[in-house]
């Protein structure tokens, strides 16, 4: 039986819908992005921060926590006394459980702690994310060009200072008659590009959107499916720290694909 363009398009749309359903399920998880209720930078003074049980402070590269009589747990191990944790080499957003809450911890020379509460209004009132309809013309082929060694790149951040990220290389691709190059960052899910385009600040979130870059083929070929461009967590509630697209990732044309500005941001 011959496969038609209509069949291919129907399969493309169906796969996109299944992916969207999975992504929104992730967003609405009890301790997902929408559950974030407070963000605090920890300093050397033991403090009790709003919406965050216990006392928290930093000494060198260690984060100290005094549960003050509550039971906390990290990596399955419970503790009720003062605990010092060196999370300077840990992945971003490792979690400490405190009763019905979770605390996400990220190290940027200073410790950032984000409180996640399943009862957060943003999670309970969630009504989906506005998106463009899937469009095959925004599925583009690119070529991954790795650096000889991973580079450190500094990216400005929404509402705070710049931070350093690992960059494994760039990806080049063509759109229209022009060639473009996106600088990539490493993430727990592989490689990603944070970018803006002519829709940014108009129909999409102004700081950037993010596109996961799949594993390259043997010859370096990658598929850039902008229909799967996502908002970063700061687009929903301004709390988590998110990078701003670097100058080389600010595309001059409109990518009318992927997620648009969340309802929560556009109020």
**Domain coordinates of the chain in residue numbers?**
33-124, 130-266
Calculate mean pLDDT across residues 241-248. 85
Task: Check: CB of residue 193 under 8 Å from CB of residue 213.
Answer: yes
DSSP state of 63: E
Using CA atoms, how far apart are residues 158 and 201, in angstroms rounded to an integer? Answer: 14
pTM of the model: 0.85
In this prediction, residue 229 carries a pLDDT of 98
**Segment 70-78 long-range contacts (CB within 8 Å, at least 24 positions apart):** 70/98, 70/99, 71/99, 72/96, 72/97, 72/98, 73/97
Q: Of 101-105, 139-143, 231-235, where does mean pLDDT reach its minimum?
A: 231-235
4 vs 59 pLDDT, higher one: 59
**What burial class does residue 199 get, using C-beta atoms within 10 Å of its C-beta: 0-12 exposed, 13-18 middle, 19+ buried?**
buried
Contact present, 80 and 68 (Cβ < 8 Å): no
Instruction: At 145, give phi and psi (nearest 5°).
Output: -120, 100
**Percent of the chain having pLDDT more than 90?**
67
Q: Is the pLDDT of residue 241 over 80?
A: no
pLDDT tens digits, residue range 100-120? 999 999 998 899 999 999 999
Q: What is the pLDDT of residue 186?
A: 87
Query: Is the per-residue pLDDT at 182 higher than 80?
Result: yes
pLDDT of residue 156: 73
The tokens for 250 are 């600010």
Distance of CA 230 to the CA centre of its chain: 8
Q: Is it the case that residue 54 has pLDDT exceeding 70?
A: yes
What percent of the chain is predicted at pLDDT more than 70?
94
Work out the average pLDDT over 197-201. Answer: 96
* Average pLDDT of every residue of the chain: 90
Angle formed at CA 159 by CA 88 and CA 236, multiple of 5 degrees: 95
Spatial separation of the C-alpha atoms in residues 164 and 256, rounded to whole Å: 30
């Amino acid at each position: 039986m011959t496969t038609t363009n209509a069949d291919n398009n129907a399969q493309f749309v169906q796969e996109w819908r299944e992916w969207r359903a999975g992504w929104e399920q992730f967003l609405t998880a009890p301790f997902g992005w929408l559950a974030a209720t407070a963000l605090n930078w920890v300093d050397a003074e033991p403090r009790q921060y709003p919406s965050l049980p216990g006392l928290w402070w930093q000494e060198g590269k260690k984060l100290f926590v005094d549960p003050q009589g509550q039971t906390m747990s990290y990596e399955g191990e419970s503790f009720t006394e003062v605990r010092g944790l060196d999370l300077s080499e840990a992945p971003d957003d490792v979690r400490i459980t405190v009763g019905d809450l979770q605390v996400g911890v990220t190290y940027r020379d200073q410790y950032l702690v984000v409180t996640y509460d399943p009862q957060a209004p943003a999670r309970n009132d969630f009504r989906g994310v506005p998106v463009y309809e899937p469009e095959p013309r925004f599925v583009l082929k690119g070529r991954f060009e790795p650096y000889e060694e991973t580079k450190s790149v500094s990216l400005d951040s929404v509402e705070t200072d710049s931070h350093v990220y690992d960059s494994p290389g760039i990806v080049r691709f063509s759109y229209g008659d022009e060639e473009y190059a996106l600088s990539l960052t490493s993430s727990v899910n592989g490689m990603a590009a944070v970018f803006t385009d002519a829709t940014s600040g108009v129909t999409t979130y102004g700081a950037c959107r993010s596109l996961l870059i799949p594993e390259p083929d043997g010859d370096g070929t990658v598929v850039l499916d902008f229909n799967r461009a996502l908002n970063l967590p700061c687009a929903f509630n301004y709390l988590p720290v998110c990078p701003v697209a670097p100058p080389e990732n600010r595309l001059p044309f409109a990518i009318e694909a992927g997620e648009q500005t969340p309802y929560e941001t556009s109020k």
